[in-house]
């Protein structure tokens, strides 16, 4: 059915439907009666509850949001065609029901499938996971519902010397990962995932299918790191592949406080920004128990785009304190390096495991983030490690910058954290017990440590990474009356100087703020309820 005709019939149908009370059965019936939507893709907690629960829980990646008290969607819709997505958006808009769009479900605060608003639906994109790799022109088109592991495997199927710079967790959804920036072990060589996005396909609030040409360069800029769920429903991304060598090298070396971990970390901070950009060394900083005593330990995990002889020579020159030898190194191809960083045994695990959309274990967790712009002294690093030991459970992940990240301007994409940052910190705590007291304790540990780190991290504003979603740094309230002022609080942390441009683009493409979540991009102050002059022009252009 032609897109405009579809829009007409949906509008005609819904014009006769008043805003009924949010009863699941009546809402279900309203969506069933919308063009293109059928019972086979709509799940209700009252009418097909078993299937509803299965679909809901399949892509919940944080058990904190899988409890009896967790707010549940009034419906889940699992589209298989673009017209079904168009109909879902238009029907939900007319019925004034919030849409949460889920691709992989890895968002740390669960905002793709949980809402602070009383009534919402989930648009689950897992059927949109096609991946078309074209090695001849080194490109691929990947559906928003595909996972990173699937993308890596499909590239590997066709080439052993191509890859893509994205995350180390294979079950992360492409839609969410790219929309927040996306990075992995090739960060210093190739930058972010969004730095290699060349086009997109999206359904906007009016049911229009847009791409880079029809949506314009502003919208293309916004969807490459401006956050998922703010501008529309992303269908796919077009990406440019990158070159990888036949031989890659990895190592994992651990140093405790008694083995000069603080001294080595101090040197690591100074060396990494300017070291060979083929090298990425992540540090895990955590409390461990050795001989019944808790101490701090730093684990250095490396990925080098080259052979072990080169790597050992490089480490001996730049960071000899770590003591890396050839025995510490493992040579492998790029897809095996993906397995290694996912903690699979590279000797016994086939790359086909990357096609398993549920290869990870799901537990309880909390994340926060920071950026470090000045070297933390050995003394201060010791105090940081001592604080982690005192708290007992929380750990850090340090991700080094430099290389390509310093060569791309802060406003090239919405992701602003480029030159000037030495490394990014992820605060990480996981647990498996559903005891509420434990959860309260671990959440408190993350907040106490965040406060403790204030002197050592970026300021004015204190930066944060969108894909390490953290509702502690600010949310938009349910009534949306103060969405701009509330959004400014977290928006400047995530996007810094790019926030205002994102707000202007949002106001044009979605002036009534239909696509929203607890930390979405707001519209310009005072314009959420009506149409702006610029948005009016945009709508005329779209017609």
**Phi-psi bin for 32: left (phi > 0), alpha (psi -120 to 50), beta?**
alpha
Q: 426 near 233, Cβ under 8 Å?
A: no
Distance, CA of 339 to CA of 53 (rounded, Å): 31
Active site residues: 468
CA separation, residue 254 to residues 41, 220, 259, 297, 434 (Å): 49, 42, 9, 7, 31
In this structure, the number of other CB atoms found within 10 A of the CB of residue 138 comes to: 15
Name the burial class of residue 361, with classes exposed (0-12), middle (13-18) and buried (19+) by CB atoms within 10 angstroms of its CB. Answer: exposed
**What whole-number distance in Å separates Cα of residue 379 and Cα of residue 395?**
19
C-alpha–C-alpha distance, residues 222 and 179, integer Å: 9
Going from the C-alpha of 260 to that of each of 83, 114, 254, 269, 527, the distances in angstroms are: 60, 44, 11, 15, 56
End-to-end CA distance of the chain: 17
Closest CA to 225 of 370, 474, 475, 410: 410
Tell me which DSSP letter residue 375 carries.
P
C-alpha pair distances (Å), 328 with each of 7, 324, 363: 61, 6, 31
| Dist. CA 182–CA 194, nearest whole Å | 7
> For 100, phi and psi rounded to 5 degrees?
-110, 125
User: b/e map of 256-287 (b: 16 or more CB within 10 Å)?
Assistant: ebeebbbebbbbbbebbbebbbbbbbbbbbbb
Closest by Cα among 191, 202, 206, 283 to 236: 202
Contact call for residues 242 and 163 (beta carbons, < 8 A): yes
Helix H segments across 273-411?
A: 308-318, 334-341, 378-391
Q: Give me the phi and psi of 199, to 5 degrees please.
A: -165, 170
Nearest alpha carbon to residue 428 among 257, 252, 268, 283 = 283
């Amino acid at each position: 059915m032609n897109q405009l005709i579809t829009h007409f019939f949906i509008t005609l149908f819904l014009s006769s439907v008043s805003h009924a009370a949010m009863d699941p059965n009546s809402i279900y019936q309203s969506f069933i009666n919308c063009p293109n939507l059928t019972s086979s893709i709509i799940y209700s907690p009252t009418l097909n509850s078993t299937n509803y629960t299965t679909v809901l829980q399949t892509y919940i990646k944080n058990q904190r949001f899988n409890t009896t008290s967790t707010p549940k969607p009034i419906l889940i819709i699992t589209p298989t065609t673009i017209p079904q997505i168009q109909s879902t958006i238009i029907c939900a808009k007319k019925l004034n029901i919030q849409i949460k769009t889920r691709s992989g479900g890895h968002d740390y605060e669960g905002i793709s499938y949980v809402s602070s608003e009383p009534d919402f639906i989930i648009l689950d994109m897992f059927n949109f996971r096609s991946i078309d790799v074209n090695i001849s022109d080194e490109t691929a088109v990947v559906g928003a519902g595909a996972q990173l592991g699937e993308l890596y495997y499909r590239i590997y199927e066709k080439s052993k010397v191509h890859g893509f710079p994205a995350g180390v967790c294979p079950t992360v959804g492409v839609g969410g990962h790219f929309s927040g920036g996306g990075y992995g072990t090739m960060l210093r060589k190739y930058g972010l995932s969004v730095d290699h996005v060349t086009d997109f396909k999206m359904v906007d609030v009016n049911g229009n299918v847009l791409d880079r040409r029809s949506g314009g360069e502003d919208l293309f800029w916004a969807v490459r790191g401006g956050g998922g769920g703010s501008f529309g429903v992303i269908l796919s991304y077009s990406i440019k592949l990158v070159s990888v060598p036949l031989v890659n090298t990895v190592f994992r070396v651990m140093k405790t406080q008694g083995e000069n971990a603080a001294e080595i970390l101090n040197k690591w901070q100074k060396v990494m920004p300017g070291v060979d950009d083929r090298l990425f060394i992540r540090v895990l900083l955590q409390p461990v128990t050795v001989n019944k005593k808790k101490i701090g330990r730093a684990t250095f995990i490396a990925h080098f785009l080259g052979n072990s002889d080169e790597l050992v020579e490089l480490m001996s020159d730049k960071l000899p304190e770590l003591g890396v030898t050839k025995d510490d190194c493992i040579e492998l191809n790029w897809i095996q390096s993906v397995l290694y960083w996912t903690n699979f045994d590279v000797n016994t695990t086939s790359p086909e495991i990357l096609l398993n959309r549920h290869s990870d274990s799901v537990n309880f967790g909390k994340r926060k983030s920071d950026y470090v712009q000045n070297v933390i002294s050995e003394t201060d690093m010791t105090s940081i490690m001592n604080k982690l030991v005192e708290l007992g459970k929380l750990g850090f992940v340090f991700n080094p910058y430099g290389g390509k990240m310093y060569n791309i301007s802060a406003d090239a994409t919405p992701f602003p954290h480029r030159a000037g940052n030495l490394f990014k910190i992820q605060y990480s705590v996981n647990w498996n017990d559903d005891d509420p007291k434990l959860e309260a304790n671990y959440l408190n540990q993350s907040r106490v440590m965040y406060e403790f780190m204030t002197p050592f991290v970026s300021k004015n504003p204190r930066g944060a990474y969108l894909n390490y979603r953290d509702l502690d740094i600010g949310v938009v309230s349910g009534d949306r009356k103060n969405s701009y002022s509330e959004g400014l609080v977290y928006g400047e942390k995530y996007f810094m100087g790019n926030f205002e441009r994102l707000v202007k683009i949002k106001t044009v493409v979605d002036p009534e703020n239909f696509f929203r979540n607890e930390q979405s991009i707001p519209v310009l102050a005072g314009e959420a309820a009506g149409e702006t002059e610029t948005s009016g022009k945009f709508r005329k252009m779209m017609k």
